[in-house]
Amino acid sequence: MLDLVFLAFIFYILLLGLRRPFLWVLLYVYIDIIAPQRIGYTIITSLSVSLIAFAAAFGGWLLLDRKEGARFSFRQFLILALLVYCWWTTGNAQFPESAVTKWDWVWKALLFALFLPLTLTTRARIEALALVLTLSVATIVIGTGMKTVLGGGGYENLKFFVKDNSGIYESSTLATVAIALIPLVWWFTRYGTIFKPQWRVTLFAVLLTFASLLVPIGTEARTGLLCIAALAILMLRYVKHRLLFIMAGGVLGLTALPFLPQSYYDRMATITEPGGDESASTRMAVWKWTIDYAAERPFGGGFDSYLGNSFTYEMPVKTEDGSTTSIEYREVTDDSRAFHSAIFELLGEQGYPGLGIWLLLQGLGIWQMELLRRRYRDRADEDEAWISPMATCLQMASIIYVVGALFQGIAYQPVMLMIIGIQIGLYSYCKRIESERLKLARSRSRLAAGSSARAVRETDLPGDAVTA
């Protein structure tokens, strides 16, 4: 039954897209995030619905959609360069079979991020994409929040819609994305046009924000706590009453403490003492190995090059005997451990060129959104007042993502690549309207200059000639 519901919905959107091809872009976003083919049980599991939606989105834009305002930006060139470079390193990978497996989904995520800005030529499209992306993630976040409240949380114990722990359904990844999208959720409460700002929209935003904050608690993801801290620090830049905001945050945190399980305290404590946790100790050992690996192979070893790592390190183990606590250092040998950081993931897989492209892609996005925020922050016109807040939300999403990516191998996370696509689309949209405004001003200036010249010539003529 669940398969039929998904298929009926997908088929319905495919039909509607015959008149509005952009709906196929939104359909792909929904399928890529929710992954209904992984949730279903029978028919839908055997269908390549993601590929069908991707082909429809690209084909619809190519054959049926308007191309007015579409332009290729420098950040799209960076995405293309990263895509081509990943293709080259995959062909020269140290572990070819594993590399091809990861390449099978990475190229789709990069290609869609490259294509996406070409379709975002109006405010309505930018808002629609941001809304579908947010609501798709919200579908997972709401379920996670409900399970957390009902006592179904715990590290690697909180089950989502799917059985495997990958993609956005990976606990730390979901925590990062959920926190990163909170500012965008609140943008719709003031500037949304699809769902007009009203008390229902605000109530939904409050509940979704609460559910998003519960994700790091329910998953016990340490990265989620760091992302919450990053969000709080970024908010200090925009709130009017900073002291009141800090006090309210402190009260909220203290109120929540009695309701948190002991397992959450134990796991968060490893943030301040990484050397006493095997997972954290392994990460640091992997990062040291990656630096040495990049020194030998500066152009990277291809996807999943971490399979070649092997290292030995000492980890302190606490032993309690009554009131006495002793610490014993034990030698631990490990191998084939994942990078657990987007920075080291890129360094090990794509080398210094790939890491440089990725950092430039992220840095330019944050910088461009800052330019838009400042340029449009005093605009009172309804047609432009929404731009600065949208740029602010997208900038905060990128910064929080980068913070989370420091401790996770999510360099090619599809949702965040879509956020990059929205950033590029918004920046191109603003450049276009500024260019159109400049052309209009020049045209008016020429007309005014022409009228003045004619008036001067007429005043130079004798009175009878003017009369004639």
Q: What is the pLDDT of residue 453?
A: 66
Over residues 115-143, the mean pLDDT reads: 94
Q: Comparing C-alpha atoms, which of 34, 25, 19 is closest to residue 55?
A: 25
For residues 244-277, one letter each, b for 16 or more C-beta atoms within 10 angstroms of the residue's C-beta and e for the rest, the string is eeeeeeeeeeeeeeeeeeeebeebbebeeeeeeb
Secondary structure letter of residue 197 according to DSSP: S
**Is 266 contained in some domain?**
no
Q: What is the pLDDT of residue 406?
A: 92
pLDDT at 389 over 60: yes
The CA angle 62-64-65, to the nearest 5 degrees, is: 75
How remote is the C-alpha of 57 from its chain's centroid? 20
Residue with tokens 């010539």: 457
Q: What is the pLDDT of residue 48?
A: 86
CA 413 to CA 419: how far, in whole Å? Answer: 10
Q: What is the pLDDT of residue 263?
A: 56
pLDDT at 396 over 90: yes
Element (H, E) at 396: helix 387-405
At residue 379 the predicted structure's pLDDT band, cuts being 50, 70 and 90, is confident
**Is 461 contained in some domain?**
yes
Query: What are the structure tokens assigned to 426, written together?
Result: 């918004």
**Is 345 contained in some domain?**
no
**Is 137 contained in some domain?**
no
Over residues 312-323, the mean pLDDT reads: 66
**Mean pLDDT lowest among 52-66, 90-104, 162-176, 256-270:** 256-270
Name the percent of the chain lying above pLDDT 70: 84
Query: Residue 384 burial (CB < 10 Å; 0-12/13-18/19+)?
Result: middle
At residue 383 the predicted structure's pLDDT band, cuts being 50, 70 and 90, is confident
Residue with tokens 């929904």: 30
**Mean pLDDT lowest among 147-156, 259-268, 273-282, 337-346:** 259-268
**Is 43 contained in some domain?**
yes
CA 175 to CA 268: how far, in whole Å? Answer: 14
Q: 197 with 189: CB under 8 angstroms?
A: yes
Query: What are the structure tokens assigned to 68, written together?
Result: 């007015």
Q: Which of 311, 335, 359 finishes a domain?
A: 335
CA 92 to CA 363: how far, in whole Å? Answer: 28
For the ranges 33-47, 143-157, 168-182, 415-429, the maximum mean pLDDT occurs at 415-429
Q: Which of 307, 335, 363 finishes a domain?
A: 335
Number of Cβ atoms within 10 Å of the Cβ of 280:
18
Average pLDDT, the chain: 85
The one-letter amino acid at 422: I
Helices 414-460 and 96-119 pack at an angle, to 10 degrees, of 30
**Residue 317: which domain range?**
285-335
CA 123 to CA 391: how far, in whole Å? Answer: 13
pLDDT at 77 over 80: yes
**Mean pLDDT lowest among 3-12, 51-60, 201-210, 384-393:** 3-12
CA 156 to CA 136: how far, in whole Å? Answer: 22
Secondary structure letter of residue 308 according to DSSP: G
Q: What is the pLDDT of residue 350?
A: 95
The whole model's pTM is what? Answer: 0.88
Phi first, then psi, for residue 177 (nearest 5°) are: -65, -40
Q: Comparing C-alpha atoms, which of 422, 409, 423, 421 is closest to residue 167?
A: 409
At residue 322 the predicted structure's pLDDT band, cuts being 50, 70 and 90, is low
Over residues 5-32, the mean pLDDT reads: 92
Q: What is the pLDDT of residue 86?
A: 96
At residue 468 the predicted structure's pLDDT band, cuts being 50, 70 and 90, is very low
Name the percent of the chain lying above pLDDT 90: 52
Q: 122 with 194: CB under 8 angstroms?
A: no
Q: Which of 65, 89, 107 finishes a domain?
A: 65
Q: What is the pLDDT of residue 69?
A: 77
CA 467 to CA 109: how far, in whole Å? Answer: 72
**Mean pLDDT lowest among 14-23, 151-160, 286-295, 357-366:** 151-160
Over residues 215-240, the mean pLDDT reads: 86
Number of Cβ atoms within 10 Å of the Cβ of 19:
8
Over residues 317-333, the mean pLDDT reads: 67
**Is 234 contained in some domain?**
no
At residue 2 the predicted structure's pLDDT band, cuts being 50, 70 and 90, is confident
**Is 30 contained in some domain?**
yes
CA 345 to CA 340: how far, in whole Å? Answer: 7
Query: What are the structure tokens assigned to 398, written together?
Result: 């990128």
More confident of the two residues 44 and 350: 350
Q: Comparing C-alpha atoms, which of 301, 310, 355 is closest to residue 337?
A: 310
pLDDT at 153 over 60: no
Which residues are registered as beta bridge partners of 317? 328
Q: What is the dihedral of CA 97, 101, 104, 110, to 10 degrees?
A: -100
Over residues 82-108, the mean pLDDT reads: 94
Element (H, E) at 112: helix 96-119
Ranges of beta strands (E only) in 302-385 are 310-321, 324-335
**Is 459 contained in some domain?**
yes
Residue with tokens 């957390």: 148
CA 450 to CA 187: how far, in whole Å? Answer: 45
Q: How many domains is the chain built from?
A: 3
The one-letter amino acid at 198: Q
